Amino acid sequence: MTKTSTNHDALALAERLLACPSVTPAVGDVFAELEAMLVPLGFTVDRFVSGVAPDGPVENLLAWRTTGAGPHFAFAGHLDVVPPGHGWASDPFTPVVRGDLLYGRGAVDMKGAIAAFVAALHELPDSLPGTISLIITGDEEGPATYGTLALMDRMVAHGLHPDMCLVGEPTSSARLGDVVKIGRRGSVNMWIKVAGTQGHVAYPHLADNPIPALVRILAKVDAEVLDEGTDWFQPSNIEITDLEVGNPAHNVIPAAATARISIRFNDQHSGASLIDRISAIAASEGGSVDAKISGEPFLTQPGTLSTLISDAIRDVTGLDTELSTTGGTSDARFLSRLCPVAEFGLNNATMHKLDEAVAIADLHDLTRIYRLITERALRG
């Protein structure tokens, strides 16, 4: 299975995690495997299960080690993976090395990064003062209802208050270390509904067709310019993602019409302000809005954390990294409530794809980068 690996290097550790199927929401063996890696390193491990169906149960793991007074550096990630799908060249949950790549579901997103961080822990000097914690969920790829938020409550219960947090999401694009995320846009989905009166198309005076009103609402929504972007964020955007009238018959005026829109928004807005804005447009045509906010935007201003990460990347790879806020949401949106947070991990080219794979050289380089970041963070 392995290629030039030791029991504690990132390749061997990644193989152990990849061999545990953990389609979201994840529970069980993969958390036991990670616990077995951390306990010999002196970590206290708190594993717990949260939630009920349909979004649970979800297993989470909080681990910490304190070696005297000093800064608290946290690493966050997830052990759940998306379903593998069909058509892999090999079993997605049997890790295999072919050439210079390690294949398996989660190799990139993000068991490989967790393995690299654990490998980095083995290389840290024993004398470093401070606290290191790992915040690991089994509910990032799914609804994220019972994952990182539950872990944050658990941290408070244990009196754990990190000074900074690194999330091991696969942010790299063309080369390891070329992109670090220091923020993310927020996300809100809305369902715009117009009620009418069902009837026969030959007798429109006896019915009330909701579709024209919905079309007018959507035209107004589509014409909205939310902003022009900021120094760190691209412009907010509204996308119409679904239309539904529930009407299979060609000769029936429907009783209701619904559209779904998705808004990705920067820090000039909040989810609530956008709901109010779209609700006012809908109300002007007799419509109503239901909404779900998936996350608010956050930005960690360039400073101590981004410098630690950028310097370590440069020392190992020679690259000058790009600080970015592009892409979808992640659990960093929750962790930003605790402390400054940034995201950095492996190359994301194959995440969620068939034959997901990570370059073995990147696993080893990421280990070195994570070691430098952690050591320098604790030295202050």
Interval 111-141: pLDDT, tens = 999 999 999 999 999 889 999 999 999 999 9
Query: What CA–CA distance (Å, rounded) separates 44 from 40?
Result: 10
Provide the mean pLDDT of the chain. Answer: 96
Query: What CA–CA distance (Å, rounded) separates 246 from 243?
Result: 9
**According to the annotation, is 33 in a ligand binding site?**
no
**According to the annotation, is 161 in a ligand binding site?**
no
In tens, the pLDDT along 240-285 reads 999 999 998 999 999 999 999 999 999 999 999 999 999 999 999 9
The one catalytic residue in 9, 33, 59, 80 is 80
Query: What CA–CA distance (Å, rounded) separates 11 from 363?
Result: 7
Is 331 an active-site residue? no
pTM of the model: 0.91
Three-state secondary structure call for residue 123: helix
Is 15 an active-site residue? no
Residue labelled with tokens 């694009």: 173
42: left (phi over 0), alpha (psi -120 to 50) or beta: left
Q: DSSP labels for 30-65?
A: HHHHHHHHHGGGT-EEEEEEE--TTT--EEEEEEEE
Are the folds of 10-183+298-379 and 186-295 the same?
no
For the purposes of burial, counting CB atoms within 10 Å of the CB of 115, is it exposed (0-12), middle (13-18) or buried (19 or more)? buried
The one catalytic residue in 9, 140, 285, 365 is 140
- The domain made up of 186-295 has a fold known as Alpha-Beta Plaits (3.30.70)
Query: What CA–CA distance (Å, rounded) separates 129 from 125?
Result: 10
Query: What CA–CA distance (Å, rounded) separates 43 from 160?
Result: 14
Residue 217 in tokens? 């609402």
User: Residue ranges of the domains in the chain?
Assistant: 10-183+298-379, 186-295
- For residue 125, the tally of other CB atoms under 10 A from its CB is 10
In tens, the pLDDT along 2-61 reads 344 458 899 999 999 999 999 999 888 999 999 999 999 999 999 999 998 888 899 999
Residue 5 in tokens? 């690996």
Q: Between 3.40.630.10, 3.40.50.360, 3.20.20.70, 3.40.50.80, what CATH number should domain 10-183+298-379 receive? A: 3.40.630.10
**According to the annotation, is 141 in a ligand binding site?**
yes
Strand partners, 62: 46, 135
